[in-house]
Amino acid sequence: RMSKKTQKPLEENVVLYFTIEMLYVISSLHNSRMIHGRLSPKSFHLALHQITELPPWNRSHKGGWAERGLILSELHDAIDIDMYSDRVQFRCDPDSKRVTVPCLEMKAGKPFTFQLDTYALGDIVHRLLYVGENLKPIRQACGGAWKRSTRASFKRSKVWDEFFDIILNEKEASLESLLGHLEDTLEKPQSADKLRLQLVNVSAELHAFSQSNKV
């Protein structure tokens, strides 16, 4: 919301960090056989206190990084798959008000699975990269792979191409390898060192934004 109002995109490094954090959370949820069901930017709370006192970011979250990041909320509509028989299918009208972001399975009239969350995650990342613009996938000729309709030049364009390819084409098994690739990218000294100051700036801007919108 803040980025869309100011038309100021987040630093790509910050988007990469938030993407990694969201992937941690969603992968953990899915490994527990849970579907969040209503994932959106409002589903996450920021924990960015005292960032300047931390060492450079690292994938093992040492030095205090384990207490920072994103906290998942709004689990009241979550689905515990193990509570149902294997024969049960989950369906929903993509135009239902209960659907935050309809996934491709929903739009095709198919039962939805974990893709409901992974597609919503892709939509959130797209909005962070493209200043509030929702993910609008298009299909390649003859029923080929899905890809995003928006194209822009980013420093890490190949990373984002891989991310959206996995998200849009239901490559759930590839999420862990994708996470590892994103971690490799962010853990490079130049990126990890910059991240602290960038997150401090984001935290300050969010505070100023929230104060300006108080009634």
Helical packing angle, 189-212 and 175-186, nearest 10°: 100
Burial of 178 (0-12, 13-18, 19+ CB in 10 A): buried
pLDDT digit string (tens) for 99-124? 888 888 898 899 998 999 999 999 99
pLDDT digits (tens, 9 = 90+) for 82-98: 999 999 999 998 888 87
DSSP class of residue 71 equals: E
